[in-house]
Amino acid sequence: MNAPRIAVITGANRGLGLATAHALARRGFAVVLTYRGEADDAFRAVKEIRAAGGDAITARLDLADTASFADFTVSLRRDINERWGRSDIDVLVNNAGIGLFGRLEDATVDEFDALMGTNVRGTFFLIQALAPHIGDGGRIINVSTSLTRHVSLGTSLYTASKAAVEAITRTLAVELGPRGIRINSIAPGPTATDFNGGAMRDDPDLRSSLADQTALGRVGQADEIADAIAALASSELRWMTAERVEVSGGTLL
């Protein structure tokens, strides 16, 4: 039996990360779902993926704890070798991150450090740790936001962190290109997930307001973003790298 293609998705126990794990599993990838806190949702997702005919395992990862990345890499390689007979991966989806929002006068140094430490430093150094173990021709997809194109009040620090991720994506495309590794960022628009406390998912007034700002007249769903991530992970887009792909339903055109 041939060893499967392997994808690692950070923050995959819920929301967009979970939807991405299911989307890649449906396309034949064996998936590693990382989680930071309680493991129950991640374990439940593994059972669902296996019940649907796919395969998955979990791994704990705190993106803010860069000192743990060396041990994480060792245990990840050990676990995928035990499960699938491989010690490298094909796809890394950097989905995990945090969102802290507020106007200029309310921003704090601690919020700044938390956003940059998780969304930027954590993403960069996880790529650094795993890049030697991504097979030649592999793919990296970094999750950004449509807010790097349009403006919304109270989002300056969050947007800055994601703009930095997009800049990292473009630069690393040059560094990783000689190995055939494609790296792109995907920028979701307003999407009904549990991000930011599930505000967009649970608040019908907010959803309606944002829907009016999109060309398609509604907010997105997690599986729609996940399908776009799966497309970037596919061989069909093999000539695409260093790009920012917005999936926002035409928000604020």
Which of the residues are catalytic? Answer: 158
Q: Which residues of 152-185 are buried (b: 16+ CB within 10 A; e: fewer)?
A: beebbbbbbbbbbbbebbeebbeebeeeebbbbb
Q: For residues 115 and 241, give the distance between their C-alpha atoms in angstroms, rounded to a whole number.
A: 26
Q: Which letter does DSSP use for residue 122 in this model?
A: I
Structure token pair of residue 253: 């055109």
Do residues 220 and 248 make contact, with C-beta atoms less than 8 angstroms apart? Answer: yes
Do residues 46 and 24 make contact, with C-beta atoms less than 8 angstroms apart? Answer: no
Handedness of CA 10, 14, 18, 20 (dihedral sign): negative
Structure token pair of residue 112: 């700044």
Do residues 188 and 17 make contact, with C-beta atoms less than 8 angstroms apart? Answer: no
Structure token pair of residue 220: 């997105």
Q: Which letter does DSSP use for residue 116 in this model?
A: I
